[in-house]
Structure 1
Amino acid sequence: MTTRKYAMRTACLLLVAGLSACAAAGPVLRAAAPSHPEHAGRASEPMSPSPFVVPLDAATLAKLPREPVKASAHGQDLDCEGVALAGLLRATGAVPADPLRGPQLARYLLVTARDGYRAIYSLAELDPSLSDRRVLLVDHCSGKPLDDDDGPLRLIAPGDARPARWVRQVKSITVVAAP
């Protein structure tokens, strides 16, 4: 075999071996070019770490504006007061002050109750620039603090068709990046 043919055959074998190694390693992920002109050229705020546990202490909640909410669950009318969940997320740094975009849209909120009940909300459905959904974290109903059966904190989403994602006895709220 001539030197030139030997060199060509060796190069082909190395190429095939390299391609096989790349295929075994899995797909290569590249940053995609913005598909929409609105996304081009904007600097985004740094994202909070994942998971990010949202502080629910009294001092944090006291700094936020309070809102009333009237809703009905299981045949019971509620007249409650608390803080907007979107406002709490922004105030604690769980989400940026600017409208969500890009990878931030692949995050969700995991709300966990003392008894283990859990519910999920996407951050996109809570962002006021993307949705008019109102979700509140309440601590008072009928002018009194919530009792142990419902409180000390309760999540209420009055726009939901049924209260399946309303969480009583809220223990934690965590922002998580989807895998």
Structure 2
Amino acid sequence: MFRGPHLLALVLLCATTAHAQTPGLHDPAAHQRAGLPVTPSPVVVPLDPAARASLTRHRVEVVTHGEPLRCEGVALTALLQASGAMPDAPLHGALLDRYVLVSARDGARAVFSLGELDAPLGNRGVYLVDRCDDAPLDADSGPLRLLVPDDTQPARSLRQVERIIVIAAP
């Protein structure tokens, strides 16, 4: 009988073999034949003020570490759509294997699936803010901060956001 690392190795081998034998799973030509859009991966999302300037701004209220915070910024989905990293049409097919990796200057990272952010599927509200309590973010929090108001713990509400990329899962 297989146990411990041997069982894990067997499971991984079976999963890898099944994945490799699934025709067209990550074949861009297969997606084109199916009429699905082929988008590059990874997509680096621009975070500069010009990239956010034309997007609708939202007021976001959260409680972090017991303190209320009133912030202002843009919806992550709008930023992803403006950069071409996420379509503005409902997600389906090949795009459901995409995820968003948000990285902060202090090394913290958070992950969201595109399906989680897509309005018809998950409709998760995630915001990239640059102002809180009527002032620009200070160096300890900004210049950009990620807020996820509906998370029960603020673990994915990152400070000092410096990079957002959208990646197709392997």
- Does TM-score exceed 0.5, indicating one fold? yes
Per-residue CA deviation, residues 101-143 of structure 1 (Å, 9 max, x unaligned), is 1121111111000111111111110111112311000000011
Q: 1:10 corresponds to which residue? A: none
Structure 2 residue corresponding to 1:28, chosen from 21, 33, 40:
21
Measure the CA separation in 2 of the matches of 1:69 and 1:28.
46
Q: 1:168 corresponds to which residue? A: 159
Measure the CA separation in 2 of the matches of 1:96 and 1:45.
9
Measure the CA separation in 1 of the matches of 2:106 and 2:24.
41
Measure the CA separation in 1 of the matches of 2:43 and 2:123.
24
> Highest Rg: 1 or 2?
1
Structure 2 residue corresponding to 1:57, chosen from 48, 57, 62:
48
Q: 1:82 corresponds to which residue? A: 73
Matches within 5 A, 1:146-165: 146-165=137-156
Query: What's the RMSD between the two structures over aligned residues?
Result: 1.7
| Structure 1 position 42, deviation (Å) | 7.4
Percent identity for Structure 1 against Structure 2: 52
Unaligned runs of 5+ in 2: 1-16, 26-32
| Structure 1 position 31, deviation (Å) | 3.8
Structure 1 residue corresponding to 2:99, chosen from 84, 92, 108:
108
Q: 1:133 corresponds to which residue? A: 124
Q: The residue matched to 1:83 in structure 2 has which SS?
A: strand
Measure the CA separation in 2 of the matches of 1:156 and 1:74.
13
Measure the CA separation in 2 of the matches of 1:42 and 1:90.
22
Unaligned runs of 5+ in 1: 1-25, 33-40
| Structure 1 position 155, deviation (Å) | 0.3
Dislocated runs of 4+, deviation >4 Å: none
Report the AA paired with residue 37 of structure 2: E
Measure the CA separation in 2 of the matches of 1:158 and 1:174.
21
Contact 1:113 1:170 in 2 (8 A): yes
Q: 1:45 corresponds to which residue? A: 37
Q: The residue matched to 1:72 in structure 2 has which SS?
A: strand
Measure the CA separation in 1 of the matches of 2:123 and 2:108.
26
| Structure 1 position 45, deviation (Å) | 2.9
Q: The residue matched to 1:60 in structure 2 has which SS?
A: helix
Q: The residue matched to 2:41 in structure 1 has which SS?
A: coil
Q: 2:60 corresponds to which residue? A: 69
Measure the CA separation in 2 of the matches of 1:65 and 1:42.
34
Measure the CA separation in 2 of the matches of 1:82 and 1:65.
8
Measure the CA separation in 2 of the matches of 1:64 and 1:175.
19
